[in-house]
Structure 1
Amino acid sequence: MRRFPLALSALLLLSLSAAQAAGLRAFDVPAGPDGPAIRGVVWSPCAETPHAIDGRGGRTFFGVSDCPIVGAKLPLIVISHGRRGWLGGHHDTAAALADAGFMVLTFNHPTDTERDTSGTDSLAVTVERPADIKRAIDYALQGWRDAAHIDAGRIGLYGFSWGGYTGLAAIGGEPDLRKSLPNCQTSSLRACKELEGGEKPSGPVVHDPRIKAAIIVDPFPVLFFAAENLKAVTIPIQLWSSDPAQNGDGLSGCCAAAINDRLPSKPEFHLVADAKHFSFLATCTPEETAKMATICTDAPGFDRVTFHQRFHAAAIAFFKTHLGEAGTR
């Protein structure tokens, strides 16, 4: 990763200070008949100066805990993390969207997080992950203490990797989850092995028509989505792909070209030259890079800080176009 004249954390803090900050507050969906408890965080517009916050395990957020929310009836963006990810994996994207006037919900998908991988790659999560999206939105609009700040008619979604699969399913995709599915018979994916062993999904995939626009990044796995399985996906999509030339190391999630060709309506497609799959994750501090080199290290010459500035600007413009102006700061 390119070195900068100031510590990366200081650069991020300075840029956030110039543009106000994101407020952070707890968001916890209680367990119920529809599923287990979901732990989350809501990022919101905030008028106070940001500071570093311990995000867990040496990771750093920048924002203000329990900052008063600026604005009312704001659009809501729900972020779905990737395989074995966590609610903080896209914290800089969440903060950028919140600073632009959006409410942003990030949460851990039960059984497919850093701390609980019991469902990772399984047939169960192909159904449970989209259901998590609906449950989280339900609670955000109906049970959460600050629900009044959200405009229920303006909801968007951001999905990365397995979160990209999750997003496509939530917005109308019907994954083909059957035995003898082409390409699944020879796949090492746990869900494929379970399908070939005669297992079936625990229930139907849940869609959420409240989602009006979506950003999908490197969706994985795509083998469950032929073009006919995506014919009901009609909302506006901004589709991002990492560079196939930088993803020859077996990492899941690259790339988005196949889905771009299968969607019934042409998305706004971005292929990012020299980006690795993990280049879409939050920019790392030097301390994080030392602990998580695989996730934090980009291709030689690729500047994740600069890319995320462009990426966030495009994401904000997309959501403002399709969900309306986020609100006055």
Structure 2
Amino acid sequence: MRRFLVALTMLAALPGIGMAGPAAAEVGMRTMTYPDPAHDGMGRMNVWYPTTAPEQPVRRGPFTLSVADGAPVVEGRHPLVMVSHGSGGSALGHVDTAMALARAGYVVAAVHHVGNSFDDDRDARSAVMWRNRPAQFSAALDRVLSDPDVGTHVDGGRIGALGMSAGGYTVLVAAGGVADLGIIADFCARHPRNPAFCRDGVPQWTGRIEAPDPRIRAVVAMVPASAMFGDGAFAKVSAPIRLYDAEADVILGDAQVKEVRDRLPPNSEYALVAGAGHFSFIVPYPAELVAEIGAPAQDPPGFDRAAFHERLNREVVDFFDRNLAAARSGP
């Protein structure tokens, strides 16, 4: 697992990553920091965006990525998509999807969650983790919008969010969903063998988590951890949501995403990906690293992650195009 997480930090430098989607612009990239509201110090995030500067090979470890490193954002006011990674992951876990959005004209900022990432996982498997993530997500959004180089090129009325697994939970809370940690026990009573929350004992967590961010206008939630969303959890959500489920998800089991699907607002979209596993939504890995990385780089037999991501990235761009284009323009 440690080798997997180290390799994940290098994924932004893989050759060819992010080439799916419209080739409307060169892609710029930079690293930014945000004040972490949950821990002392700063968190970081990776930002991708359209630019007119030429792309160059940028070396990260043994890998290279073709980006315009540190280049200016192309003139104009662009929609923004904030990205939240899964538990123990990295801001680079969805780099291909982020770059597909950037090529389509979006600014994309992927949050690296302090306390629940590959290099600092102190909050994993605790109630603290679920409380901290939405606060970090909104703090990172504040930082993007206030940045003199990036924020001035963002249309504040066209902001979306994308997250996977614990990141999917994060963006659902940011959209206005109310999480109740106490109802996980009820979920486990109905699904006692659920691998994510119940198989090794029911978490003794309590408390509601409400952290709506009204700036979020559209959400893509991929295999979200969702045992803490009960009846009425999304009563205050108005943003359109596209929910992705994986047919062969052995991490969340076969109940969590389907139960949250049935509780989402009627304007939501649902896609069950045939043959996909839980990790199939993470960026495809180079073949030479798959065996070493292990489960997060592997898919159920017969599933082609690279081919799926070509489709996934097109669908994500299309969803945000449809649901942010008509949003109110803001500062």
TM-score higher than 0.5:
yes
For 2:121 and 2:161, locate their aligned partners in 1 and report how far apart those are by CA, in whole Å: 23
Q: Which residue of 1 aligns with 2:316?
A: 315
Q: Is the 8 A contact 1:59 1:288 kept in 2?
A: no
Which sits farther off after the overlay, 292-301 or 70-79? 292-301
Q: Which residue of 1 aligns with 2:29?
A: 24
> Displacement of 1:298 after TM fit?
2.1
Q: Is the 8 A contact 1:20 1:50 kept in 2?
A: no
> Displacement of 1:172 after TM fit?
0.7
Among 45, 65, 68, the alignment partner of 1:40 is: 45
The alignment of Structure 1 onto Structure 2 pairs a total of residues equal to: 307
> Displacement of 1:26 after TM fit?
1.5
Give a deviation string over 1:236-272, Cα, whole Å, max 9, x none. Answer: 11111111xx333xx2476622211111324211111
Q: 1:144 to 1:294 in 2, by over 3 A?
A: farther
Q: Summarize the alignment of residues 202-281 of structure 1 with structure 2, pairs less than 5 Å apart.
A: 204-220=209-225, 222-243=226-247, 246-248=248-250, 251-252=251-252, 256-281=257-282
Q: Which residue of 2 aligns with 1:83?
A: 87
- State the AA in 1 paired with 2:311: R
Q: 1:138 to 1:98 in 2, by over 3 A?
A: same
Among 85, 99, 117, the alignment partner of 1:113 is: 117
Among 120, 132, 138, the alignment partner of 1:134 is: 138
Q: 1:84 to 1:137 in 2, by over 3 A?
A: same
- State the AA in 2 paired with 1:98: A
Among 74, 96, 103, the alignment partner of 2:100 is: 96
> Displacement of 1:179 after TM fit?
7.6
Is residue 193 of structure 1 aligned with residue 195 of structure 2?
A: no
SS class of match (1:257): helix
- State the AA in 2 paired with 1:40: M
SS class of match (2:306): helix
Q: Which residue of 2 aligns with 1:5?
A: none
- State the AA in 1 paired with 2:203: K
For 2:315 and 2:151, locate their aligned partners in 1 and report how far apart those are by CA, in whole Å: 27
For 2:198 and 2:296, locate their aligned partners in 1 and report how far apart those are by CA, in whole Å: 22
Give the TM-score of the pair, scaled to structure 2. Answer: 0.82
SS class of match (1:216): strand
Q: 1:179 to 1:317 in 2, by over 3 A?
A: closer
> Displacement of 1:190 after TM fit?
9.7
Q: Which residue of 2 aligns with 1:294?
A: 295
Give the TM-score of the pair, scaled to structure 1. Answer: 0.83
Q: 1:190 to 1:143 in 2, by over 3 A?
A: farther
Q: 1:102 to 1:191 in 2, by over 3 A?
A: farther
> Displacement of 1:101 after TM fit?
0.3
Q: Summarize the alignment of residues 174-189 of structure 1 with structure 2, pairs less than 5 Å apart.
A: 174-178=178-182, 181-183=185-187, 187-188=197-198
Give a deviation string over 1:33-75, Cα, whole Å, max 9, x none. Answer: 886411111100134554554456x565442211232232101
SS class of match (2:30): strand
For 2:181 and 2:110, locate their aligned partners in 1 and report how far apart those are by CA, in whole Å: 27
Q: Percent identity?
A: 32
Q: 1:23 to 1:192 in 2, by over 3 A?
A: farther
Structure 1 alignment gaps of length 5 or more: 1-8
For 1:130 and 1:160, locate their aligned partners in 2 and report how far apart those are by CA, in whole Å: 13
Q: Which residue of 1 aligns with 2:9?
A: none
Q: Is the 8 A contact 1:154 1:212 kept in 2?
A: yes
> Displacement of 1:276 after TM fit?
1.1
> Displacement of 1:14 after TM fit?
7.0
For 1:75 and 1:167, locate their aligned partners in 2 and report how far apart those are by CA, in whole Å: 17
